[in-house]
Amino acid sequence: MKPKIFVTRKIYTEVLLELKKNCEVEIWDQEDVPVPRHILEEKIPHIDGLYCLLTENIDKKLLDEAKNLKIISNMAVGYNNIDISAATEKGILVTNTPGVLTETTADLTFALLMATARRIIEADRYLKEGHWKTWSPNLLTGQEIHGSNLGIIGLGEIGIAVAKRAKGFNMNILYYNRNRKHEVESSLGIHYADLNSLLKQSDFVCVLTPYTPETKNLIDKEQLRMMKKSAILINTARGGIVNENALYDALTSEVIWGAGLDVFEEEPVSLKNSLLALPNVVVLPHIGSASLNTRMEMARMAACNILQALNGEVPQNLINKELACT
Ligand code: GLV
């Protein structure tokens, strides 16, 4: 008998066919609507594998209903949506999709940095709305990018890829990370700083750290107050790392100059969120890894992880590695 899996969103046909060759597949077949919780609860006791997205909250309560579940394959690099310790306790493997989205997410991070600093979105709107009367010395002046100081919070693969891009813009790069990365420091010519020094010295602060209980509200009122008045905060990691109320206050009282946000505490962000009304904020709907190629690679990788696990192998991108030896 083929193992049973549940896929929580419409995915690429090619990937779905590959899964169907090996498994009995049920799918929440909608493009833009996450699977309702009650459907997930209904499916979970009967499946061997779950193929899910970062929109699904895989908490302990849900996992308590799992009877045969062997693998949760998250089609994302971040996995803060999954209670890893509850899964591990139950012997359920959890996998993610690292690597394949690194460069694409770094591209988007840099694009957001540039769009915010040079007011690209505002300028586009200005022209299209017919405000452009003449060239003018102060028209839509922004912040310098080349030669400025970039502070990277979280020097994982994406942080390193952002640093490489910043080198091309002659930026001076500081980073803050749980562990120092001496080799990367010398190969890229970047410097370690503690969080406070990084915040004080940077013209751009890029948040690229995973979202964990330790990084929740890592950037709060106190941290924003340490930043330069001309500084720009970029967040392409997870919304909860930056306190949105504190950010709103900082942006409206000239504590910092601007922000570029691809992620929010609540997603999709409410149109009532006051950050959306600010001219010095560029917002995106969590599209860091959204290129056609990368999303296809992520989907394939998530499928590969689930198939490996159901085949009794250790999946390539296992997060709870302690389960590999059991
Ligand atoms: C996207 O945010 C991901 O974690 O892959």
Q: Are residues 126 and 223 in the same domain?
A: yes
Which residue segment(s) compose the domain that 317 sits in? 4-98+292-325
Q: What count of Cα atoms within 13 Å lies in the side-chain half-sphere of residue 51?
A: 33
Tell me the C-alpha distance between 83 and 257, whole Å: 36
Q: Are residues 66 and 142 in the same domain?
A: no
Q: Are residues 56 and 81 in the same domain?
A: yes
Give me the residue label for tokens 């503690």. 194
Kindly tell me the sign of the dihedral angle through the C-alpha atoms of 208, 209, 212, 214: negative
Nearest CA-CA partner of 151 in 99, 109, 212, 122: 109
Cβ(289) to ligand 1 under 6 A? yes
- Index of the ligand 1 atom closest to the CA of residue 97: 5
- Index of the ligand 1 atom closest to the CA of residue 286: 2
- Give yes or no for a contact between 83 and 299, defined as CB atoms under 8 angstroms apart: no
**Where does the chain have alpha helices with state H?**
13-22, 37-43, 60-63, 84-89, 102-117, 120-128, 157-168, 182-188, 195-201, 221-226, 244-252, 292-310
Compute CA 317 distance to the chain's CA centroid, rounded to the nearest angstrom. Answer: 17
Q: Are residues 126 and 250 in the same domain?
A: yes
Cβ(288) to ligand 1 under 6 A? yes
Cβ(76) to ligand 1 under 6 A? yes
pLDDT at 326: 65
Helix axes 13-22, 292-310, angle to 10 degrees: 10
Q: Are residues 170 and 300 in the same domain?
A: no
pLDDT at 214: 97
Nearest CA-CA partner of 78 in 52, 100, 99, 98: 98
State which residues of the chain have pLDDT below 70. 326
Cα–Cα distances in angstroms (integers) from residue 285 to residues 30, 254, 268, in the given order: 18, 25, 7
Q: Are residues 131 and 196 in the same domain?
A: yes
pLDDT at 178: 95
Q: Are residues 118 and 57 in the same domain?
A: no
- Give yes or no for a contact between 286 and 307, defined as CB atoms under 8 angstroms apart: no
**9, 52, 54: residue to mutate for ligand 1 pocket, most atoms within 8 A of CB:** 54
Q: Are residues 53 and 122 in the same domain?
A: no
Q: Are residues 270 and 144 in the same domain?
A: yes
Cα-based torsion angle of the residue sequence 269, 213, 298, 325 in order, rounded to the nearest 10 degrees: -160
pLDDT at 93: 98
CATH code, domain carrying 191: 3.40.50.720
Annotated active-site positions, please? 238, 267, 286
Q: Are residues 93 and 107 in the same domain?
A: no
CA of 130 to the centre of ligand 1 (A): 37
The phi and psi torsions of 282 (rounded to 5 degrees) equal: -105, 125
**9, 74, 77: residue to mutate for ligand 1 pocket, most atoms within 8 A of CB:** 77
At 140-186, the pLDDT tens digits run 999 999 999 999 999 999 999 999 999 999 999 999 999 999 999 99
Overall number of domains in the chain: 2
Q: Are residues 118 and 228 in the same domain?
A: yes
Cβ(98) to ligand 1 under 6 A? no
Q: Are residues 176 and 155 in the same domain?
A: yes
- Which residue, judged by its Cα, is nearest atom 4 of ligand 1? 78
- Give yes or no for a contact between 193 and 174, defined as CB atoms under 8 angstroms apart: yes
At 92-106, the pLDDT tens digits run 999 999 999 999 999
- Index of the ligand 1 atom closest to the CA of residue 96: 5
- Which residue, judged by its Cα, is nearest atom 5 of ligand 1? 76
Tell me the C-alpha distance between 37 and 238, whole Å: 22
